[in-house]
A and B are shown apart, each in its own frame.
Chain A
Amino acid sequence: NAGVTQTPKFQVLKTGQSMTLQCAQDMNHEYMSWYRQDPGMGLRLIHYSVGAGITDQGEVPNGYNVSRSTTEDFPLRLLSAAPSQTSVYFCASRRAGGVTSTDTQYFGPGTRLTVL
């Protein structure tokens, strides 16, 4: 059981370049999320999805796009990379439930992105 996988592990971009961070999960989880982690700050939610075809913005969505065409995959696109997007990016997934659900959120290993 692979859980949540992310590729690549490391990436260096030049300002203005675009790229896609890949995220996949094999647990049939409905909910998926993208976070960024910066020094001295907690994880901040970029975008999330509650199912295939449904996405929404989190706390820091500017400069990022997402789509969810399948349950398994939730790619994050950087449209025109900026140095401010240098960060570690985490993808996470969890099973949907009712309002009383406390299901565990499973995280991928992270992608370290540097924008020069």
Chain B
Amino acid sequence: AQTVTQSQPEMSVQEAETVTLSCTYDTSESDYYLFWYKQPPSRQMILVIRQEAYKQQNATENRFSVNFQKAAKSFSLKISDSQLGDAAMYFCAYRSANTGNQFYFGTGTSLTVIP
């Protein structure tokens, strides 16, 4: 099975500053998708951003962007101009392009935003 590793259990950032959350994964496949999900205290999982492995260009969604390094199997999330509403647990996730519906999640990083 694929494994997804988030080595930072907790991170903090000053409001309006930039923070980067790390994620590495292990796979022998070449075609797959990577995701970052946000889980606020409400517990609902919210998709933040996704990346197709076959695309070299890093995905961006407003203040959120990724640094996808396929050879290094690294997929970090950068949050720019951090806002209080960004405080949440962030999960990195992997899905093979070949096995349909099996997602593998990391253990999460708890992000605190300091006013």
Q: A residues touching B (Cβ–Cβ < 8 Å)? A: 31, 33, 35, 40-45, 48, 50, 58-59, 88, 90, 92, 94, 96, 99-100, 102, 104-105, 107-110
Please tell me if B114 contacts chain A, counting CB pairs below 8 Å: no
Question: Can you show 25 pairs from A to B with CB atoms below 8 A apart?
Answer: A42-B6, A42-B105, A42-B106, A42-B107, A43-B103, A44-B105, A45-B102, A45-B103, A48-B102, A50-B101, A58-B102, A88-B43, A90-B45, A99-B31, A100-B52, A102-B33, A102-B50, A102-B52, A104-B50, A105-B35, A105-B45, A107-B37, A107-B44, A108-B44, A109-B44
| B interface list, Cβ under 8 A from A | 1, 4, 6, 31, 33, 35, 37, 42-47, 50, 52, 91, 93, 97-98, 100-108
Q: How far is the CA of A48 from the CA of B105 in the complex (A)?
A: 15
Residues of A within 8 A of B104 (CB): 42, 45
Closest B residue by C-beta to A31: B101
**Shortest Cβ distance from B45 into chain A, in angstroms?**
4
